[in-house]
Structure 1
Amino acid sequence: MGIIDEIGESTIRLIYKTIYYTLGFLIALIKGLRKIDFKLYSFFEKKNIDFKDYIIFKLQMASLIFLILTVGYIFNYIHVKIMFFGLLILILIYLTYSISSLKNYCDEDFNAYKDFFLSYMLIPIIFIIVKNVKPVINFRFPYAHYVILSIVYVLFFSYYFRKKYARDFTYGKVVEDGEIIKVKVGYDIRANVKPKILNFANTINAKKGDVVKLRVEKGTFSIRGSKIVGVEGICKRENY
């Protein structure tokens, strides 16, 4: 066997081992994340927070950390590139894992959540690419292109999301029945509704455990979320 063949075989073995150990690391990481998830959720469960809302909270926090790290890199607060990109990769893995976890709790709404949080992940990645292609612009405001890019991106995605996913209703679960029902509402990104418990007159004879459809009234800019204005009826909906 010649030296070229030996180098070729050694290279193939190295690639194989790298892929093998990388996959092993990712599998172990995902298993570890699941264990941590359930331990952390026990705290949130005591606060009467559903697992779906807990996953969304994690996604929001991870997305925020991802964006903060990217901004720190853009403005040269983070100088160790290996550590920076290592952290970004870990956060991306965590975000991907959390998004996939939502599939069991969102039914037909999963694509809306997936697109929303993927857009959160995409903008920092675009910033990193722009940073490495054109760090600054010879202008009074050297980072103005990031601001312009952010505004254009947010406006475009907001229009796309409202056009494709926005709706004027949401769902809630009856937690207490009677003449006045208490309805627990979870986070609903399509209706722009935050978790809360509301009281309504029981005009539909709803019982405890029923899932009800709720009318939503959107504000002009919906910054604080939409307002739930009434109950439309009882509906069948799994994985609420």
Structure 2
Amino acid sequence: MGFFSTLGEIVINFFYLIGTFIIELIKLPERIRAGTIRENIKEIFRKWGEIGSADVSKIKIMKKAKIKNISEDDAPIMVKGTRFHPSEKENTILRLQISAVAFITVSILYSLNLISFIIFALLGVSIIFLISYILHYQVRVMYVEDFNAYRDFFIMYIMVGFLIVLVANNPAFSTSFFFAFFPSLSILIFAVIAVVTVFLIFRVRYYRDYTLGEVIEAGKNTSYVRVDYDIRSNVKPDTYIVENNGFKVKENDIVKLAIEGSLFSARGNQPTKIIEIVSKQR
């Protein structure tokens, strides 16, 4: 998955640069009115040069904080300190999912010659920019340790959209027997296969059989635990009743939860019991 991680960083940083450049262009008239043209141009170029170093600084800060690598099995999904409301996280992931589906849909429409290349390019760039923006400014902060998993997941679906376009416009495929007689159906079937394949690859690569949650009400034998959306364990955001399993937990403790379900469950897996206290409330 190293290829997708590298590609993901390139895509995100590229559209981050584009977004920053656009913002600076919008502010350019105001900056010119506030001072001399030469000084403002120097200021823009200075900010432009700081963009790359800003990302490097963020990486150094994350390393100093000793954040564990995503490949480690015990990488947590929650960070003490900055807190986000569960609905805020859920809405962020929902926007990403809708954007990914929209990009694949636009790719299919273009492959079926239902929209022009200009419309496809405009919509495609806009959607990719939106996905990159959400990943860079929201998901990176909300899911620090699991950012690579979220990034790779949505970048792979962007690649699926481009792959659909390439296959549909490739003479080797378009002139084959099945494509020649059923072009529209063939593109749709290929899109479904590609989406399912990406889903399976992601599940095999990033799946884990536990999730983390926060105790909101502790009982003698069972407790109410709030769990955020966890893409790796396929757990939906909700409040679950779980077995204490012999652990004495208190309100606001962060606990590791065993889950019940399958690797490819479409409805999501269910947290069942506490298997470890990750962080106790003092």
Same fold (TM over 0.5): yes
> Kindly tell me: are residues 27 and 50 of structure 1, through their superposed partners in 2, closer, same or farther at Cα, counting changes over 3 Å?
farther
| Corresponding residue SS for 1:71 | helix
What are the Cα deviations for residues 34-77 of structure 1, in whole angstroms up to 9, with x where unaligned?
xxxxxxxxxxxxxx634332221110111121122222222222
Q: Which residue of 2 aligns with 1:181?
A: 223
Name which of 190, 202, 209 aligns with 1:168: 209
CA distance in 1, matches of 2:113, 2:162: 16
TM-score by length of 1: 0.71
Aligned with residue 262 of structure 2, among 219, 225, 230: 219
Q: Which residue of 1 aligns with 2:129?
A: 93
How much does 1:177 deviate? 2.7
What residue in structure 2 maps to residue 25 of structure 1? 22
CA contact (8 A) 2:258 2:274 kept: yes
Cα deviation digits, residues 190-227 of structure 1 (max 9, x gap): 11111111123444222221111110122374121122
Given the alignment of the two structures, is residue 235 of structure 1 paired with residue 274 of structure 2, yes or no?
no
CA shift in 2, pair 1:84/1:159, >3 Å: closer
The answer as to 2:165 corresponding to 1:128 is yes
Residue 111 of structure 1 deviates from its aligned partner by 1.2
Q: What letter corresponds to residue 186 of structure 1 in structure 2? A: D
SS in 2 for 1:107: coil
Match of 1:118 in 2: 155
The two structures, once aligned, show a CA RMSD in angstroms of: 2.9
Unpaired runs of at least 5, structure 2: 1-16, 27-84
How many residue pairs end up in the alignment? 199
Letter in 1 for 2:267: R
Amino acid at match of 1:125: F
The corresponding residue for 2:232 is 190
SS at match of 2:168: helix
Contact 1:136–1:143 (CA under 8 A) maintained in structure 2? no
Name the counterpart of 2:198: 157
For residues 174 and 18 of structure 2, the distance between their equivalents in structure 1, rounded to whole angstroms, comes to 39
- Any residues of structure 2 matched to 1:129-148 within 5 Å, and which? 129-134=166-171, 136-137=174-175, 139-143=180-184, 145-147=186-188
The one-letter code of the counterpart of 2:93 is: I
Post-superposition shift, 1:120? Answer: 1.2
Q: Structure 1: state its 5+ residue gaps.
A: 1-19, 30-47
Using the aligned pairs only, state the percent identity: 31
